[in-house]
């Protein structure tokens, strides 16, 4: 199960795009915590800590101004569309005895049988929303793909979740599949189009001959 990640946060007063840009220039990321009916709290964390947060699936303990603490989970985040830098993070405050919903990465285990038949493994879902108590949130959900043959798929219903962890995602949602290489598909499509284009020309010659 995932361990708690503890990072330092500092309360902030200045809100809006201008102050946020100045914070990011100072290597700080604006964050907000909310939950349990309390007013949202605006803070900052270090940019390097924000990367740790995005690679952590469990509880994030925010130590605010060196004393106050909030038990949270990552809820949403924003990245710059060009630089891909983190712009903002939202945390949801939680209690250790309440069920929470959070996203957990999906990873494949094993070599699909279909790859030995010329296929390629494709990952359709990169992460999945799970529900569990905060301390039970797994770091990743592993999917054994070794039994997948060519043109077969592994679905959400085939995933094995740790005890106390489940999901509301549709059971028939595809997670991984094994498909023929895309290059081969393109070549087959081009060949089919070539045959269709050649057909009218043959008809014309026949008509001229008549």
Whether residue 159 is found in the same domain as residue 78: no
Q: What's the confidence (pLDDT) of residue 55?
A: 85
CATH of the domain at 71: 2.40.240.10
Tokens of 95: 């209690």
Residue 126 lies in a domain: yes
Whether residues 55 and 124 fall in one domain: no
End residue of a domain, out of 61, 94, 127: 94
Query: Based on the domain organization, do 18 and 75 belong to the same domain?
Result: yes
Whether 62 maps to a domain, the answer reads yes
Share of the chain above pLDDT 70, in %: 82
- For residue 205, tell me if it sits in a domain: no
Is the pLDDT at 209 greater than 70? The verdict is no
Higher pLDDT, 63 or 181: 63
Mean pLDDT of the chain: 84
Can you give the pLDDT at residue 54? 87
Question: Which of 94, 124, 154 is the C-terminal boundary of a domain?
Answer: 94
Check whether residue 127 and residue 87 sit in a common domain.
no
Q: What is the pLDDT of residue 205?
A: 44
SS3 for 53-76, per residue? Answer: HHCCCCCEEEEECCCEEEEEEEEE
Q: Residue 61 above 80 pLDDT?
A: yes
DSSP string, 8-48: EEEE----SHHHHHHHHHTTEEEEEEEETTEEEEEEEEEHH
Kindly state whether residue 113 falls inside one of the protein's structural domains: yes
Does residue 113 share a domain with residue 164? yes
CA atoms within 13 Å, Cβ hemisphere of 163: 0
* 136 and 86, same domain (yes or no): no
Structural domain count, the chain: 2
Quote the domain boundaries for residue 17: 5-94
Task: Out of 49, 65, 94, pick the residue that ends a domain.
Answer: 94
Other C-beta atoms closer than 10 Å to the C-beta of 59 total 22
The reply to whether 202 falls in a domain is: no
Give the tokens for residue 96.
């250790």
pLDDT tens, residue by residue, 138-179: 989 999 999 999 999 999 999 999 999 999 999 999 999 999
Residues 71 and 133 in one domain: no
Burial 123-146 (b: 16+ CB within 10 A, else e): eebeebebbbbbebbbeebbbebe
Q: How confident is the model at residue 38 (pLDDT cuts 50, 70, 90)?
A: confident
| CATH number, domain with residue 139 | 2.170.120.20
120-123 β-sheet, strand order: 120-123, 174-179, 153-155
| Residues 70 and 111 reside in one and the same domain | no
Same domain, 127 and 82: no
In a shared domain, residues 61 and 25: yes
């Amino acid at each position: 199960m995932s361990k708690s990640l503890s990072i330092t946060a500092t309360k902030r007063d200045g809100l809006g795009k201008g102050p946020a840009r100045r914070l990011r220039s100072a290597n700080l990321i604006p964050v907000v915590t909310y939950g349990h009916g309390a007013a949202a709290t605006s803070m900052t964390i270090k940019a390097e800590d924000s990367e740790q947060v995005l690679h952590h699936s469990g509880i994030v303990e925010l130590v605010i101004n060196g004393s106050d603490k909030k038990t949270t989970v990552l809820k949403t985040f924003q990245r710059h569309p060009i630089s891909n830098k983190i712009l903002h993070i939202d945390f949801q405050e939680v209690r250790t005895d309440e069920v929470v919903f959070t996203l957990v990465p999906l990873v494949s285990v094993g070599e699909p049988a279909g790859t030995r038949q010329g296929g390629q493994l494709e990952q359709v879902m990169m992460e999945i929303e799970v529900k569990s108590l905060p301390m039970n949130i797994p770091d990743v959900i592993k999917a054994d793909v070794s039994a997948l043959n060519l043109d077969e798929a592994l679905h959400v219903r085939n995933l094995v979740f740790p005890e106390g962890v489940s999901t509301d995602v549709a059971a028939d949602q595809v997670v991984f599949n094994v498909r023929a290489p895309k290059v081969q598909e393109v070549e087959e499509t081009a060949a089919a189009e070539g045959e269709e284009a050649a057909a009218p020309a043959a008809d014309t010659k026949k008509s001229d001959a008549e």
